[in-house]
Chain A
């Protein structure tokens, strides 16, 4: 797929060069040519003025300046997962650049050039796809630039290209001991033909891929100079806070803004589809203005159920079969002849993403277009949604992708919710000033778009020998994709694949399996949350299999490895984690060790957690040993970081985070009642990466779903009790 794309792009570039020569058009960074300083492009031709004169831009992803700088254009959002470093590693590898000469710049919103190759014609970041979809594309971008530099050097020296070598940003001719930098060659390289099928290295020749390279964003993020959406200041900009309804589905009945308008600094109060926006010259004035705003809400159509009532409904639904996601053999018949039947019910709460940077967005209307500044995760849907609100063409919505202060899925909203809210505010003030929409922590926590609440019912039949002969898994919970543009691609036969992933594809060899799903419709907004369906399916599957192992008097590691006979990569990480954790050794009293394994986004992770439990029920997670198989390890240190952080993120939900509703109102509001992992609760983490020659797969999410079942299984080992709910509470 990636190969075709590059080839096509290169061919089109030749056509465009010819056209440009005839008409004087400037076509942005696509041109394999030298950029002239006056080439600023308007909205939609973004990238126009990104580079200085004399810069060599062989393709949409790399440019080389006369000053010897190499700029990599990143099409994916850097939200902590290390994607700027990863994408740059791929380019630098094939370009044979020096790591220190590389800087990374965000790509503009332009799906023709910067689409996610795994998402068709959509530009965006998610599903742990950044490296997976870019692995060949970005290497080819670097390789093409390298061939052009080599061609330029050969031409300059009058030697054969085969005698020219490149290493660490220096181009050499060995025989005559001549060498030249990329920068010195940039101008001549810009006149070389773009290679149609650049030559890629054999993995055995990799120098950067697989070794340690420092993160490209460390310095700025360590010195407070990295710019997030929150930090954007534009001349004349107003800060907007929005009063949202107290319950989902409520609307504004009447509004008294007289006190608000008297607050110093407040400039406007406008009604928008999602509530009432208060605009002021700074955050604090807007906040004070909103504090005294009087809104009478019409709650006649609002959602008024609480968590307990929802759970009662879900339990009732679970009594009946749902839409079948997987069926093998005859589960009912096998269950009927089983020597033992074991059943368990599981409950999972709503969860907020609670990225440390609450949602925000800056938007400015100008001329025939608008410009957005955002920790932009979903360029194509957001561009269309903003265009729709403002009556613009999508290509006239210019999006500046900034660092995101976390996201965990939240900034890729299928409804473009907060981005559209910002657009509605700027529209309501007729675009008279740029607007920075800022959500407070409370707004962020109460606005919905949660990981859905779920109820699971599991049932297994064991024969006389203790072998599992029947497996039945029923899931009840809202569909994340229902009613979104993603429904068509992510639903099959009425099944939202994101609700059953990790359950429908349970890897264990059991002869009779049924997995089915109920997707009740509730007006609580829901969304993907780091690792999506696996956040709940992995817990149910991995704690249940553990319970079955204990029931059958089998060692949990041995049983898993036996039942994973057709899944060597699962087996591999289980074996590695068990070995490195010294699985099987005797532990002191009140200590427990538990294992879990799960595949998500084509990466395989096993974790062994060690816990200590006190008499009063308090416990700590002391150590986690991780084994991960994500194919070729592009950046081993970033993989380690994502394992540490990914399991830490999952640990918040395992230990204490939950969103609950009371009569339709969200109970939690900030970090005092939506508690998250802190330093004192972080275990020691040891990461082991499986050596592999498979294509690389993602690492941002796959560590997250594994930790809760590993900890629950460790707690069960320590206490003899099983755990069926998250967060995990040990009671005396």
Chain B
């Protein structure tokens, strides 16, 4: 049995220790906001927070996540995340939307660590998250706008 703390709720899962967290979240627990895009930590679609740190759930075995606090897009509920999501909606950042849970998780973690990031800090924090629709112009603007609301 694997014990997971997801969005402040404890779950017991009958899965192998090496199952990536992504598939435990999606296929076993049924939270589908976290997406599969590459499976090898290249695209960021699967980003969740583990103790507040943005983490690629596709390469994180559930075995190493016990006793950690995991937050998915469904569990986001901080001042920062609300500012990010509000900015995203106001600027209509999304296109197909498939990458956006991951983008929002990455942007939230960035602003929680650095409420007023420079362009370089934005690039560094966000370049692991691919958007094939290339919504990057608006992701950047969304981060700027959320930052203004926070600082």
Q: Are B132 and A222 in contact (CB under 8 A)?
A: no
Taking a contact as CB atoms closer than 8 A, the residue among A405, A651, A670 that contacts B42 in the complex is: A670
- Bound together, the chains give a CA A602 to CA B35 distance in angstroms of 36
Residues in chain A near residue B28, CB distance under 8 A:
282
Taking the closest CB of chain B, its distance from the CB of A436, in whole angstroms, is 10
Q: Are A682 and B136 in contact (CB under 8 A)?
A: yes
- Interface-lining segment among A143-151, A354-362, A688-696: A354-362
Q: Are A214 and B89 in contact (CB under 8 A)?
A: yes
Residues in chain B near residue A219, CB distance under 8 A:
89
- Bound together, the chains give a CA A641 to CA B28 distance in angstroms of 36
Taking a contact as CB atoms closer than 8 A, the residue among B15, B40, B101 that contacts A224 in the complex is: B101
A541 at the interface (CB under 8 A from B): no
B52 at the interface (CB under 8 A from A): no
Q: Mark A65-109, 1 if CB is under 8 A from B, else 0.
A: 000000000000001111000000000000000000000000000
Q: Are A672 and B98 in contact (CB under 8 A)?
A: no
Q: Mark B111-151, 1 if CB is under 8 A from A, else 0.
A: 00000000000110011111111111111100000000000
Taking the closest CB of chain B, its distance from the CB of A360, in whole angstroms, is 9
- Bound together, the chains give a CA A358 to CA B98 distance in angstroms of 10
Residues in chain A near residue B88, CB distance under 8 A:
218, 222
Residues in chain B near residue A356, CB distance under 8 A:
35, 37, 43, 45, 96, 98-99, 130-133
B72 at the interface (CB under 8 A from A): yes
Residues in chain B near residue A223, CB distance under 8 A:
33, 73-74, 85
- Number of A residues near B (Cβ < 8 Å) is 62
Q: Are B33 and A214 in contact (CB under 8 A)?
A: no
In the complex, chain A residues 212-234 whose Cβ is within 8 Å of any chain B Cβ: 214-215, 217-228, 230-231, 233
Q: Are B89 and A264 in contact (CB under 8 A)?
A: no
- Number of B residues near A (Cβ < 8 Å) is 55
A677 at the interface (CB under 8 A from B): yes
Taking a contact as CB atoms closer than 8 A, the residue among B32, B72, B93, B138 that contacts A227 in the complex is: B32
In the complex, chain A residues 190-240 whose Cβ is within 8 Å of any chain B Cβ: 214-215, 217-228, 230-231, 233, 239
Q: Known contacts A224-B33, A357-B35: does B136 contact A80 (CB below 8 Å)?
A: no
Q: Mark B11-41, 1 if CB is under 8 A from A, else 0.
A: 0000110011001001110101111111110
Residues of A within 8 A of B (CB): 79-82, 214-215, 217-228, 230-231, 233, 239, 264, 282-284, 354-358, 403-408, 438, 440-441, 637-638, 641, 644-649, 651-652, 670-672, 676-680, 682, 684-685
16 A–B contact pairs at CB < 8 A?
A79-B96, A80-B96, A81-B95, A218-B94, A222-B94, A223-B73, A223-B85, A355-B132, A356-B35, A356-B37, A438-B36, A641-B92, A648-B133, A670-B40, A679-B127, A679-B140
Known pairs A80-B97, A405-B97 / 6 extra A-B pairs, C-beta < 8 Å: A215-B94, A218-B88, A358-B37, A637-B92, A644-B137, A648-B136
